[in-house]
C-alpha cells in the first residue's frame, strides 16, 4: 500500500521575519520562523504583550509585509505580490474578527456584512442573499435592519463573525474575539468557532485567556519574537 501524500497546509510560513527601523536601531519584531496552519485546524496564538502576536497576525492577514521569507496561502506565494493583488486575495481568502468589533455605526447590520463583498466586487443580488444567509445562521435574521448601537455586545460580535464569513473565506483570523464579552457570551463565540472548524475553515485566534488553550487543536506561543511552542 502506498501512503497518501500529506495534505498541503492552508498557510505555510517559510523563514518569515519582520524588522523595523527605529532611528539607528533595528527592532526584530519576529525572528525567522517556520510555521504551518492546516485546513480545519483551530489554533490559538498566545504570549505576553509585546511578544509578537499582533505582528504575526498582521502578516497572516496580509495587513503588513514581511521583511524576509515566503508566505504560501492556499498554494500561492503571496509575500511579494503587488498591493492590488494582495488586497483582492485578502478580501476573498481571509475573514477578520476583532475584539472591538470594528463595525460601522451608521450602517445597518446587513450593510456591515455586505462591506467585504463590495470590495470583492460581488454582484448586489448575491451580496444580499449571502448576508441574509450568514445572519440567519448566526441567529440575527431579525436584526438585519438594526444599527450596531442597538445590539448587545454578543450580538455585535456575531455580526462581526457574519461579516468575516461574507466571502466564504477558508481562513478566519480572530484578534481577542472574546475580550469584550462576558464568560457566557464568550463561550457562545467559541462554539461558533468550533462549528466553523468542522466545515474545514482554518481558524487562528490570538487570546490571553489560558482556559481556551484546552479548547483548540493547537497552541502557538510567542515570546520576544520567537516561537517557543507550536
CB atoms inside a 10 Å sphere around CB 152: 11
Q: Which long-range contacts (CB under 8 A, 24 or more apart) does 123-132 make?
A: 127/166, 130/166, 130/168, 131/162, 131/166
Q: In the sheet where 202-206 sits, what is the strand order?
A: 94-98, 171-175, 202-206, 42-46, 218-223, 226-229
Which domains are seen in the chain, by residue range?
11-102+169-229 (3.40.50.300)
Share of the chain above pLDDT 90, in %: 80
Look-up: residue for cell 448586489? 124
- What is the DSSP code string of 93-113? HEEEEETT----TTS-HHHHH
Taking 70 as the pLDDT cut, the residues of the chain under it are 1-6
Instruction: Supply the pTM of this predicted model.
Output: 0.91
pLDDT tens, 25-75? 898 999 999 999 999 999 999 999 889 999 999 999 999 999 999 999 999
Amino acid at each position: 500500500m502506498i501512503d497518501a501524500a500529506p495534505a498541503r497546509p492552508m498557510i505555510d510560513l517559510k523563514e518569515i521575519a519582520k524588522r523595523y527601523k527605529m532611528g539607528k536601531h533595528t527592532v526584530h519584531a519576529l525572528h525567522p520562523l517556520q510555521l504551518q496552519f492546516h485546513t480545519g485546524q483551530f489554533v490559538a496564538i498566545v504570549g505576553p504583550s509585546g511578544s509578537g502576536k499582533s505582528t504575526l497576525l498582521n502578516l497572516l492577514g496580509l495587513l503588513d509585509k514581511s521583511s524576509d521569507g515566503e508566505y504560501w496561502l492556499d498554494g500561492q506565494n503571496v509575500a511579494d505580490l503587488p498591493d492590488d493583488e494582495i488586497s483582492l486575495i485578502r478580501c476573498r481568502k481571509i475573514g477578520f474578527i476583532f475584539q472591538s468589533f470594528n463595525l460601522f455605526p451608521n450602517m445597518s447590520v446587513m450593510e456591515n456584512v455586505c462591506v467585504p463583498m463590495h470590495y470583492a466586487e460581488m454582484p448586489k443580488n448575491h451580496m444580499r442573499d449571502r448576508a441574509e444567509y450568514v445572519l440567519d445562521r448566526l441567529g440575527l435574521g431579525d436584526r438585519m435592519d438594526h444599527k450596531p448601537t442597538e445590539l448587545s455586545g454578543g450580538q455585535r460580535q456575531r455580526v462581526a463573525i457574519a461579516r468575516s464569513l461574507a466571502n466564504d473565506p477558508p481562513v478566519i483570523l480572530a484578534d481577542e474575539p472574546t475580550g469584550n464579552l462576558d464568560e457566557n457570551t464568550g463561550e457562545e463565540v467559541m462554539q461558533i468557532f468550533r462549528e466553523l472548524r468542522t466545515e474545514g475553515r482554518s481558524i487562528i485566534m490570538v487570546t490571553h485567556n489560558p482556559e481556551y488553550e484546552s479548547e483548540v487543536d493547537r497552541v502557538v506561543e510567542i515570546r520576544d519574537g520567537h516561537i517557543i511552542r507550536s
